[in-house]
Amino acid sequence: MKSLPYIAHSRQDGAEHLLSVHLRETAEQSRKNAVPWGEAFANVCGLAHDVGKYSDAFQKRIRGKKIRVDHATAGGQLLCEMNNNSILGILAAYCVMGHHGGLPNGGSANQDTGDDHTLYGRLKRCVEDYGFYQNELALPRLNSLPPQCEKWENGFDAAFFVRMAFSALVDADWLNTEKFCNFGNVPRGGFSTLPGLTERLTAHTEKLLNPVGPIGDLNNRRNNLLKDCLAASGRPRGLFKLTAPTGSGKTIASLAFALNHAERNSQRRLIYVVPYNTIIEQNAAVFEELLGMENVLRHNSDATYDGDDEASLNKRNSIENWDYPLIVTSSVQFFESLFANSPSKCRKLHNIAESVLIFDEAQMIPISYLSPCVRAIKTLVTQYGCSVVLATATQAPLEMFFNPVQPLEIAENPKADYPFWRRTTIKQLEEPLTDEALLDRLIVKEQVLGIINTRRQAQALFVRLYKVAPEGTFHLSTTMYPAHRKRVLDNIRKRLKSGLVCRVVSTSLVEAGVDLDFEAVYRERAGLDSIVQAAGRCNREGQREPTASFVYVFTSAEHKPPRMIQPNIGAFEQISKKYDDLSELDAIDEYYRQLYYNIGEHSLDSKRILPMFNDGAKAASFRFADAAAAFKLIDDQAQQTVYVLHEVPEIEERVLAGERSRELFRLLGGYGVSLFEQEIRDLKALGAIWLPDRSDHSVLLLYKKYYDGPIGVTLSPGGGMALFG
C-alpha cells in the first residue's frame, strides 16, 4: 500500500501542499528576502522551519486528527545539532522556533528545562520523530557568519540580525502558504517603480525650479532648499539631517532627496516615519497628489483599505509586509515593529533594509525610548543598507548618540537662512494667568490658538470660551476620534484662509507639522521644543512682521503641569534667560543637551531595552519576548481604547455580531479614542461605556450621548454634556 505523502497544508478542495515543495520554495523566498545581508543564513532557516511536520503525529493532525503537535521546536533543535551548538546554530534556532508563536526569550542553558518556553528550554524538549525529512531534503550546514557580523558591536546587533532574518523567514512562509491557499493568486503590486516615481516628481520640481515669471523671495528660498536636497541626493548611503524651518517646503524637498538618493544608490523604497496621525494624513495627501494614490501606502491606526477594488486589495495585503515603493507610517508602528517578537509585526522588517528612511519631526522620538530607537536607526544605516534623514525645524543633537557615525546636513547653511524664516516673536508672560485671564486674552483675538498641556483642562477652557463666543470656536484633542479631528481641522483651515473668526483651544497635537496659520498663539509653559513647534502655527505664511506676530508663553495660575513634561520645563527655564531669541538653532541645541543631562542616561532607556540584548550576549540569550512586551511608545497598560461608532452603524453591526478580524480592527482604528485607566473608570461609573461581549474586553463602546460634537469624549462629566448633550 502506497504511503501518503508528507504535506505542509491542505485546502478545502482537497488539494495538498507537499511539505518538500513548501520548504524549498520558502527557503528560496527567504533567501531573496535577506539579500545582501544574510541570504545563506535565511535560506537554511527556510529549509528547516517546518521539518517538524515530518513527524507522523503532525501528518495525522494535518489530515484531521484533533491533536496538538509542536512542529517549530524540531527545526531549531536540528540546526543547533547540525552546527555543534555554535552561535550560528543558536541564532538560527531563534528564527525557526519563533516562526509561529514569536521569538522567545533565550533563557538559561544551565537552569531551564524542557518545560520552559525559552529557547534553551525548548532545546531540551522531547519532540516527535521527524527523521524522514532526510529522504526529501538536503539541509546544508551554516559554515560562516553573515558578512556584516564584523560590524556587530554587542548583543544588540546580533539580536537585531535574528529579528531581520526572522522577518525574512516568516514573510516567505506566509507568502508561500498564501499562494497555495489562494490557488496561486496573491493580489499584490499595481504600483510604479522608483525610477517611474522619480520621473513624475522631477516633472513637478522642474516647474518649481524654472518658473515662467517672478516668484518672490519666499518661493525662491523654498527652491534653494529643494536644490540643496537634489544636490545632496548624489551622496552615498548614510545618515543625514535636514534642518528645515516651518514653511520652507520640507515635505516636497525631502521627497525629492529621498527618491533621487534611492535611485542613485540602488535602494528599494522610501519610508516616511511621522509622529502624529494628523501629519501622516497631510503628508500622504501631498505624496498621493504628486505621485498617484496607487503608489503610496499609509500604515497607521487610521489607515483602512476596505474597498473591493484591486488597489484596495493590493494595499490591504501590502500593509502586512511593506512591499510598496513609498510608505507613510507612524513612529509607533515603525519602532514597535523593530522591537516586536510576533511574526505578524516582524514580517515587514526585512523590507526596511536597503530603504531611505525619513524621520519627520525627528525630535519627537520619545525620550524614554531614545537610546534603543537611535541604536536601531544606527544599525539600519551601518548594517542594512539604509539611508536615514532626521528632518525637523527643531533639530535635537542626536549625533552624540550615533558615534562614530555622524549625520551630514543636507541644507547648505541653515543658520544663515534662519533670520529669513523667523516668523514670530516668543514672549514669556511674567505673571501667571488664571483661566479667566487667559479666556479674556483669547476672546479679543479673531484668529488665535491656545495650546493647553492636558486634555481635561483644554476641554474645560473650550467650554467656557464657546459659551461666550460660539461663532468660529473649535476644540482639538485626542479625545476626538481621528475622522472627527480631520473634519474639524478641515473646517479650521477653511475659516483661517477665508479670514473668518477662528479661535481654537487645543492640546499639543497641533504643534508638529499641522498646517495652520494663526495671528497669535498662547502656549502653556512646556519644553522649548513644544514652544518652538507651537510658534510654527503662527504667521506660518509670513504675511505679517515677526515683531507683530506673538507666541505668548504663560504659566497657569490654577493648574500644575503634568509630571511627564516637568523635566522639559526645567530645561527650558535653565536656558530661557540666555537667549533673546529662543527659537534660534543654538538655543534649541542647548535646550536638548540640558534636557538630556538633567534626566540622565538611564532615563533615555527607561524600560532597560538595550540590556535585554546586551547582558546575555556571550550565551546568545536574548530577551525578545520581554523586550516586545516592554517597548510600548503608547503604554497600553495605562491606556485603553474606546470606540465611537454611532456614525458608522455598518461597522457597529459587525462588532455586535461578534466579528473580531484584523480587517475590522483596522476599520475601528479610525473611530477609537485612547483613554487613561482613571478616565475609563469614571466613564464606566457613569454608565457611558458598554461591552458588546462581556467575555471579550478588546472592544469597549461609548454610548452616543456621552460623545459631544465639539469636544469628543468628555472628561468632565456634567461640563461638556450639559452644554452639548
Instruction: Indicate whether 614 belongs to any domain.
Output: no
Q: 387 with 427, same domain?
A: no
Amino acid residing at 399: E
Once rounded to an integer, what is the mean pLDDT over residues 321-337? 95
Indicate the SS3 state at residue 445.
coil
If one counts the domains in the chain, the total is 4
pLDDT at 1: 31
Once rounded to an integer, what is the mean pLDDT over residues 561-584? 93
Cα–Cα distance for residue pair 220/215, rounded to 1 Å: 7
pLDDT at 638: 59
Structural element, H or E, at residue 360:
strand 355-360
Of 107-116, 141-150, 215-224, 244-253, which range is least confident? 141-150
pLDDT band at 717 (very low <50, low <70, confident <90, very high): low
Task: Establish how many alpha carbons lie within 13 A of residue 182's alpha carbon, considering only the half-sphere containing its beta carbon.
Answer: 12
> Could you say which DSSP state residue 20 is in?
H
Once rounded to an integer, what is the mean pLDDT over residues 515-541? 93
Q: 352 with 439, same domain?
A: no
User: 49-102 pLDDT, tens per residue?
Assistant: 999 999 999 999 999 999 999 999 999 999 999 999 899 999 999 999 999 999
Q: 88 with 218, same domain?
A: no
User: At which of 152, 181, 210 does a domain end?
Assistant: 181
pLDDT at 635: 64
**What CATH number does the domain containing 117 carry?**
1.10.3210
Q: Which three cell numbers stand for residue 641?
A: 481604547
Cα–Cα distance for residue pair 338/348, rounded to 1 Å: 9
pLDDT band at 186 (very low <50, low <70, confident <90, very high): confident
DSSP assignment of 425-478, as one string?
EEEE-SS-B-HHHHHHHHHT-SEEEEE-SSHHHHHHHHHHHHHH--TTEEEE-T
Once rounded to an integer, what is the mean pLDDT over residues 622-650? 87
Q: 406 with 435, same domain?
A: no
- Average pLDDT across the chain, whole number: 92
User: 294-306 pLDDT, tens per residue?
Assistant: 999 999 877 777 7
Once rounded to an integer, what is the mean pLDDT over residues 7-26? 95
DSSP assignment of 524-580, as one string?
ES--HHHHHHHHTTBSTT--S-GGG-EEEEE-BSS-PPPGGGHHHHHHHHHHHTS-S
pLDDT at 723: 38
Task: Establish how many alpha carbons lie within 13 A of residue 509's alpha carbon, considering only the half-sphere containing its beta carbon.
Answer: 23
Residue 557 main-chain phi, psi, to 5 deg: -80, -10
**Contacting residues for 577 by C-beta, under 8 A, at least 6 apart:** none
Q: 392 with 489, same domain?
A: no
Instruction: Indicate whether 622 belongs to any domain.
Output: no
Amino acid residing at 673: V
Residue 270 · residue 258 · CB < 8 Å: yes
Closest CA to 388 of 257, 230, 211: 257
Q: Which three cell numbers stand for residue 697?
A: 474586553
Instruction: Indicate whether 599 belongs to any domain.
Output: no
Instruction: Indicate whether 626 belongs to any domain.
Output: no
720 pLDDT higher than 70: no
134 pLDDT higher than 70: yes
Q: 38 with 156, same domain?
A: yes
Beta bridge partners of 676: 639
Instruction: Indicate whether 335 belongs to any domain.
Output: yes
Q: 248 with 213, same domain?
A: yes
148 pLDDT higher than 60: yes
Residue 187 · residue 418 · CB < 8 Å: no
pLDDT at 2: 47
pLDDT band at 513 (very low <50, low <70, confident <90, very high): low
User: At which of 127, 155, 181 does a domain end?
Assistant: 181
Indicate the SS3 state at residue 84.
coil
pLDDT at 542: 83
Q: 661 with 706, same domain?
A: yes
Residue 359 · residue 391 · CB < 8 Å: yes
List the domain range (segments joined by +) for residue 374: 194-413
636 pLDDT higher than 80: no
Cα–Cα distance for residue pair 683/242, rounded to 1 Å: 44
Closest CA to 615 of 603, 627, 604, 606: 627
Q: Which three cell numbers stand for residue 194?
A: 522608483
339 pLDDT higher than 70: yes
Q: 356 with 390, same domain?
A: yes
pLDDT band at 360 (very low <50, low <70, confident <90, very high): very high
pLDDT at 146: 80
Q: 200 with 230, same domain?
A: yes
Q: 443 with 387, same domain?
A: no
**What CATH number does the domain containing 225 carry?**
3.40.50.300
